[in-house]
Amino acid sequence: MTQRALFQLAFNSICKTMRLTSEDVRKNIGSRALQPVGAARLSAWLSQKEDEYRIVLYQSDATLTPWTLRCLRQADCVLMVGYGDEAPDFNDIGKFLLGTADKLRGRKDLVLLHKLSGPNVLTTRTWIDAHPWISLHHHIACPDRMFHTRLPRLSQSGLRPRAATMDFPHTADKHSDFSRLARILTGTAVGLVLGGGGARGFSHVGMIESLLEEGIPIDMIGGVSMGAFVSALWALYRDLPEVRRRCKIWAQSMGNPWNVFREITYPYMALFSGKLYNQFVRAGVGDVQIEQLWIPYFCASCDITDVALRVHTRGDLWRYARASMTVVGYFPPICDPEDGHLLVDGGYMVTKMSPLPHHHR
């Protein structure tokens, strides 16, 4: 499969990598190695390969075979791969993981494949809810030809035409989703955290442009205050002209004197009502969930109900980005639909932030 080859190519660009299948085992040490009588020999052979290669990718069978069970026990990280535009369909491997996932020593991650021309992750929440044992989920954009499984029609001569030769890269694209996943799994990912600063926060767009010009990939992103908004735009679109365009629209809307006048209200909680503010933020990022973003994203807010820092990695993108941008006295707090707590700008509590938060909600 082309996806597997691209995945291995991405790992090879980081370190020496080998991919093993049950067929490789049969060719090298015989089919008896997959039986209980050959377990010791198989363990010794796998240990030899793990000493020879820094990373070994164990590709399981399509069903729950002895080799699949060996892969699940041997791996430090188990990747469950599915199609992002389809609902999860449990086979015997999925059912086995549901009952024994907590007993496996390795980390369990979910990888969802998506078409470039298809919808953007419509069933992510369904996949996550159906697999409560996963640690992280990853979105991978694949060419549409990778999803074609039908055989070509017979020609007039009765023979199937030869498949067209696919242009296959010899080196991994460091900005591809496969390379991003490989870096995350190997602990070499690049995370970008954007701070606040009001209108000055739009300078983050120029910094992102500079990173891309230098060939530095952005594997995960997050921020606080205005940085939460700009980072949300990048995680959603991953297109610099589109991010710049939406930032410009947002700045023009917020700077319009008529909009400012319409927002003024009786200052019971804040000087402005926040209705237009909500609309502008929502228009910028749309009605998507944080789980739907192409790359891992987080934003931070201050919970004034519990006086605590909140780091958001799932839920409504616009709502939590807006919460992270809520300046006390100017705009009313955002009510978290999960617990009813009031959230304001995370800059009131954040001095240092990590792109891999441990506590999130």
For the annotated catalytic residues, the residue numbers are: 225, 345
d(CA 221, CA 86): 27
Q: Give the C-alpha separation, 84 to 116, whole Å.
A: 12
E strand map for the chain:
17-20, 55-58, 77-83, 107-115, 136-142, 191-194, 220-224, 297-303, 308-312, 334-335, 342-345
- DSSP codes, 311-357: EE-SSBHHHHHHHHT--TTTSPPEEPTTT--EEEEGGGT-SS--SS-
Residue 106, sorted as left (phi over 0), alpha (psi -120 to 50) or beta, turns out to be beta
307: left (phi over 0), alpha (psi -120 to 50) or beta: left
- Amino acid, single-letter form, for residue 311: V
Residues 6+ apart with CB under 8 A from 134: 80, 108, 109, 110, 128
The 10 Å Cβ neighbour count of residue 296 is 23
What is the DSSP code (8-state) at residue 16? Answer: -
Side-chain-side CA neighbours of residue 25 (13 Å): 25
Give the closest residue to 138 by CA, choosing from 81, 76, 95: 81
Looking up tokens 């519990």 gives 306
**CA 355, 141, 319, 311: dihedral to nearest 10 degrees?**
-20
Cβ atoms of 330 and 352 closer than 8 Å = no
How many Å apart are CA 309 and CA 343, to the nearest integer? 9
∠ CA(101), CA(103), CA(105), 5° rounding? 95
Whole-angstrom CA distances from 90 to 114, 146, 160 are 19, 22, 33
